[in-house]
């Protein structure tokens, strides 16, 4: 053996893997620290922007307004009152200090603190743009209002986009608003387009030069991360047409596909998130990229029990048995949420995983799984039909509450009867063929010259009982 070499025992290989994982974690921590530092500097820059402009003489200081008459006209969109309050030759750049607000402790000097109202400064442009008062906004812009003034930390363009007011957003942009202005929170206007109604705003921003791959400060998100996380397929399609990068990772190591798969999804949102993932995958997004915890999009889709996304990822090469840092495969993730996601049809997820060669539950742990998943008999049917034999004992019966047994009597009676009888010859033949086709079942079975009902049987179709 040459000098400096060593035997590659399993222990040595495991040690090398642990060292590699540790180095990767350290790299992510350094990146995150860098993002936080740059975030702090960017927020400081945003806070000082207005003061710097005034000191340098780049813009005259706006007037601070506490006039309730002006505020009332702005907040109600009273155009006639605005015309009288802002005649030709008047200044449109005002800073509004709203009355009221939330109470907070603030330092008053000499080590003293007082409980005061937290005031967030705003401008007439912010008020009218955020409420969709386009004609009032136009009047203020014609009176020379500073289109990028941000005394509260964000511009009027941020306000218009966040409130989904496309006409106001277009007005601001045509009057020179910066489409890439960064707010105190480190967000560009594209980052605040987070709802379906904001699509037109996003279109205008891109037409006026918004950076399609601009990063947010705290999370290091691109606009594609934001719309993926919010399940907005039309936005995703738009951003991809403008050249959005599909595999950029944010501060947590998430790509837009990871972000879409990891977002909690209600039943009515499943289809939207599937469309988003389909667009990203079709655009070339990698289905195997892992985050800091080594979780793939498949791990996350299983955790959210989105069966259509799981099928999509598996069909495009997702690794069914990849382990995250906690040593859990996608199958672990779906089984942990079955009882909370019954309406999401978790049995479909389990079926897709098994048909693509997923690891199975250790037989000794099946009673525990039954106790946790008994409210979804279909899930238990698919899971148990992946075994050629089952050792059904009294602990299995005790794992199913009486009310669940009563609701699903036919299935659980067929399951508990296996304590006295072996599995059927038909089932044993199915298991043997599935073992032979391990990992290829989903590709091979549909091509076999067999009746459809036999193909479905081999693919663990639901029947409502076990035998």
Number of H helices, E strands in the chain: 24, 4
Average the pLDDT over 25-40 and give the result: 52
* pLDDT at residue 86, rounded to an integer: 87
Q: 447, exposed or middle or buried, with CB in 10 Å at 0-12, 13-18, 19+? A: exposed
Residue with structure tokens 């996601």?
Answer: 341
To which residue do tokens 């506490």 refer? Answer: 66
Length in residues, the chain = 467
For residues 157 and 262, what is the distance between their CA atoms, to the nearest angstrom? 30
- E strand or H helix at 64, and its extent? strand 63-65
Residue 464, CB-side half-sphere exposure with 13 Å CA sphere: 4
Task: Check residue 54 and give its pLDDT.
Answer: 47
State how far Cα 179 lies from the chain centre. Answer: 24
Phi, psi of 438 (to 5 degrees): -45, 125
The proportion of the chain whose per-residue pLDDT surpasses 90, expressed as a percent, equals 71
Residue 305: the pLDDT is: 97
Mean pLDDT, to the nearest integer, of 256-271?
96
Question: What pLDDT is attached to residue 368?
Answer: 95
Query: pTM of whole model > 0.85?
Result: no
User: How far apart, in whole angstroms, are the C-alpha atoms of residue 157 and residue 150?
Assistant: 10
- What local confidence, expressed as pLDDT, does residue 420 receive? 83
Integer Cα distance of 187 and 196 in angstroms = 19
Q: Please give the span between the terminal C-alpha atoms of the chain, in angstroms, as a whole number.
A: 58
Q: Report the DSSP pairing between strands 102-109 and 112-118.
A: antiparallel
pLDDT for 231 equals 97
Tell me what the pLDDT averaged over the chain comes to.
87
Rounded Cα–Cα distance for residues 344 and 326 (Å): 25
In this prediction, residue 140 has a pLDDT band, given cuts at 50, 70 and 90, of: very high
For residue 42, what pLDDT is reported? 46
pLDDT digits (tens, 9 = 90+) for 309-358: 999 999 999 999 999 999 999 999 999 999 999 999 999 999 999 999 99
Half-sphere exposure of 69 (CA within 13 A, CB side): 7
Mean pLDDT on 101-107? 54
Q: Which residues pair with 103 in a beta bridge?
A: 117
Higher-pLDDT residue of 17 and 413 is 413
Q: For residue 24, what pLDDT is reported?
A: 63
pLDDT at 112 over 90: no
β-pair partners for 115: 105
DSSP 244-310: --TT---TTS--HHHHHHHS---GGGHHHHHHHHHHHHHTT--TT---TT---HHHHHHHTT-HHHH
Identify the three-state secondary structure at position 212: coil
Confidence of residue 14 (pLDDT cuts 50, 70, 90): low
- Report pLDDT for 95: 86
* pLDDT of 426 strictly over 70: yes
């Amino acid at each position: 053996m040459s000098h400096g070499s060593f035997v590659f025992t399993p222990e040595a290989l495991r040690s090398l893997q642990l060292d590699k994982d540790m180095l990767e974690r350290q790299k992510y921590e350094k990146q995150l620290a860098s993002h936080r530092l740059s975030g702090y500097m960017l927020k400081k820059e945003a806070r000082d922007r207005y003061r710097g402009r005034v000191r340098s003489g780049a813009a005259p200081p706006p007037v601070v307004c506490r006039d309730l008459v002006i505020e009332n006209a702005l907040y109600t969109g009273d155009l006639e009152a605005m015309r009288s309050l802002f005649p030709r030759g008047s200044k449109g750049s005002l800073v509004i200090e709203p009355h009221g607000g939330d109470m907070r402790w603030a330092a008053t000097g000499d080590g003293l603190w007082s409980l005061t109202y937290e005031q967030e400064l705003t401008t007439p442009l912010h008020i009218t743009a955020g409420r969709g008062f386009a004609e009032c906004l136009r009047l203020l812009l014609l009176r020379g209002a500073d289109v990028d003034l941000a005394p509260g930390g964000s511009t009027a363009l941020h306000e218009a986009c966040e409130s989904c007011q496309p006409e106001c957003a277009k007005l601001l942009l045509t009057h020179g608003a910066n489409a890439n202005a960064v707010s105190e929170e480190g967000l560009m206007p594209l980052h605040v387009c987070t709802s379906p109604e904001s699509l037109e705003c996003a279109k205008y921003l891109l037409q006026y030069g918004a950076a399609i791959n601009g990063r947010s400060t705290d999370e290091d998100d691109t606009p594609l991360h934001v719309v993926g996380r919010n399940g907005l397929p039309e936005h995703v399609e738009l951003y991809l047409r403008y050249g959005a990068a599909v595999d950029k990772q944010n501060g947590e190591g998430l790509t837009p596909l990871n972000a879409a798969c990891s977002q909690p999804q209600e039943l009515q949102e499943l289809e939207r998130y599937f469309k988003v993932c389909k667009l990203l995958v079709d655009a070339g997004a990698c289905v195997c990229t892992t985050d800091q915890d080594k979780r793939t999009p498949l791990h996350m889709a299983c955790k959210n029990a989105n069966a259509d996304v799981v099928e999509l990822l598996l069909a495009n090469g997702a690794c069914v048995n990849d382990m995250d840092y906690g040593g859990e495969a996608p199958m672990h993730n779906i089984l942990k949420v079955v009882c909370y996601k019954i309406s999401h049809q978790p049995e479909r997820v389990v079926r897709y995983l098994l048909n693509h060669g997923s690891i199975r539950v250790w037989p000794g742990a099946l009673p525990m799984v039954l106790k946790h998943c008994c409210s979804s008999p279909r899930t238990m049917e698919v899971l148990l039909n992946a075994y050629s034999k089952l050792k059904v004992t009294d602990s299995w019966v005790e794992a199913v509450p009486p009310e669940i047994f009563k609701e699903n009597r036919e299935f659980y009676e067929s399951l508990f009867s296996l304590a006295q009888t072996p599995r059927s010859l038909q089932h044993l033949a199915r298991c043997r063929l599935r073992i032979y086709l391990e990992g290829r079942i989903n590709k091979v079975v549909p091509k076999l010259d067999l009746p459809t009902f036999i193909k479905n049987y081999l693919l663990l179709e639901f029947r409502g009982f076990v035998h």
